Amino acid sequence: MRAARFHEHGGPEVLTVDDVDSPEPGYGEVVVDVRAIGVNPVDTYFREGAYPVPSLPFTPGSDLAGVVDAVGEGVDRFVPGDRVFGTGLGNGMHGTYAEEVAAPAEFLATLPEGASFEDGAALSLVGMTAWQALVAHANLEPAELALVHGGNGGVGHVAIQLAETMGARVLTTANPEYRDRLESLGAETVFDYGRSDLTDAVQQVGAPEVIVDTRMDEYMQFDADVAAQGARVVCLGNSTEQAGLSAVGAAKSKDVRFQFMTMYNTPDKAAVLARLGDLLARGEVVPEVERTYSLDEAGEAQRAVLEDSFLGKLVITP
């Protein structure tokens, strides 16, 4: 089979497509015939060396959707031929940029009939991240005001849909060219993140009780300033180096709680994926797939996920 791997850390050009042995399922694993792979910024962090990998060469990738080809001992939830989607690979184990992948069964759920493989792969990581942020950590309630930063991003555009279907009012910051599309996904107000009066503009609408922040290094002070009394701010970004401690005073005066999280810590990935699958089947949370790439174009997909402006997700179809 073919897999996109890097033999050394570096830029997108270090990804090469190699012929490798097909995997065998270990205990608790299934082998998936991969039909679609989600592309995420986190995939690039492993390639660049910012996140550790167990050995080189290494296959990156967290998300997949496909058909079960074989099951290992201890697996009773799946049989060959089942359609599945999942996430959580590529961190401490080889990832999903391959034609076949051995995946822990606990990282997978059934992909609903009628849902495309591209949608399943695109939803997995960002959907689980949005779920953990809004449901597990923020305990978002109906009629609360939620602010989602980066609404046109992978996590952002799914978080908007999830918050809206939970009954919340949703505000978002985003590139203004995506305003109409984000409003159609459930955003009540879309703010140009580049406007100089952003704090005043948000405060005129209301004080968010829940904030999902994908760029905490830039917006932590802003979050503290606009947050409601007792607000919950869930931080997904990579760095707090620029944020410093300047936001502490404003946050302390309102009893604002900051929660830092990573999707990889989700305790029951299969359960969350099953819920997301139900929402996908009902058309309530559906990822936007901006572009698809071949496995040979994996390097270009990784470049684009960091550098290009788009709404939604990029997907590889091996």
Partners of 58 in the β-ladder: 6
Cα(101)–Cα(95) distance, rounded to whole angstroms? Answer: 8
User: Which tokens in the block code for residue 297?
Assistant: 């174009």
Cα(66)–Cα(69) distance, rounded to whole angstroms? Answer: 9
- Give the pLDDT confidence score for residue 221 in this predicted structure: 87
Cα(316)–Cα(291) distance, rounded to whole angstroms? Answer: 9
Cα(277)–Cα(153) distance, rounded to whole angstroms? Answer: 20
- Looking at per-residue pLDDT, the higher value among 145 and 255 belongs to 145
Cα(70)–Cα(82) distance, rounded to whole angstroms? Answer: 10
Q: Is pLDDT at 27 greater than 80 in this prediction?
A: yes
Rg (CA), the chain: 19
- Which residues contact residue 275 at a Cβ distance below 8 angstroms, ignoring those fewer than 6 apart? 131
The pTM (predicted TM-score) of the whole model is 0.95
User: Which tokens in the block code for residue 266?
Assistant: 């989700």
Q: Which amino acid belongs to residue 280?
A: L
- Give the pLDDT confidence score for residue 248 in this predicted structure: 59
CA dihedral sign, ordered 263, 266, 269, 271 = negative
Reported confidence tier of residue 217, pLDDT bands at 50, 70, 90? confident
- Give the pLDDT confidence score for residue 239 in this predicted structure: 55
Reported confidence tier of residue 254, pLDDT bands at 50, 70, 90? confident
Interval 135-173: pLDDT, tens: 999 999 999 999 999 999 999 999 999 999 999 999 999
Cα(213)–Cα(216) distance, rounded to whole angstroms? Answer: 6
- Give the pLDDT confidence score for residue 166 in this predicted structure: 98
- Give the pLDDT confidence score for residue 143 in this predicted structure: 97
Domains belonging to the chain, first-starting first, are: 2-111+288-316 (3.90.180.10), 125-263 (3.40.50.720)
Residues above pLDDT 90, as percent of the chain: 90
Cα(20)–Cα(34) distance, rounded to whole angstroms? Answer: 15
Say if residue 105 is exposed, middle or buried (CB neighbours under 10 Å; 0-12, 13-18, 19+): buried
The residue-averaged pLDDT of 20-34 equals 98
Interval 66-93: pLDDT, tens: 999 999 999 999 999 999 999 999 999 9
Interval 268-298: pLDDT, tens: 999 999 999 999 999 999 999 999 999 999 9
Q: What is the mean pLDDT of the chain?
A: 94
Q: Is pLDDT at 242 greater than 70 in this prediction?
A: no
Q: Is pLDDT at 198 greater than 60 in this prediction?
A: yes
Cα(115)–Cα(108) distance, rounded to whole angstroms? Answer: 15
Q: What are the CB-based long-range contacts (under 8 Å, 24+) for 168-174?
A: 168/140, 168/141, 168/142, 168/143, 168/144, 168/210, 169/143, 169/144, 169/145, 169/206, 170/146, 171/145, 171/146, 171/147, 171/202, 171/205, 171/208, 172/147, 172/148, 173/147, 173/148, 173/149, 173/198, 174/150
- Give the pLDDT confidence score for residue 241 in this predicted structure: 54
- Give the pLDDT confidence score for residue 220 in this predicted structure: 86
- Give the pLDDT confidence score for residue 253 in this predicted structure: 72
8 Å CB contact between 180 and 199: no
Cα(196)–Cα(227) distance, rounded to whole angstroms? Answer: 18
Q: Is pLDDT at 252 greater than 80 in this prediction?
A: no
Which single residue is written with the structure tokens 């159609």? 184
The residue-averaged pLDDT of 117-131 equals 98
Taking the C-alpha atoms of 276, 280, 282 and 285 in order, what is their torsion angle to the nearest 10 degrees?
90
The pairing of strands 313-316 and 289-293 is parallel
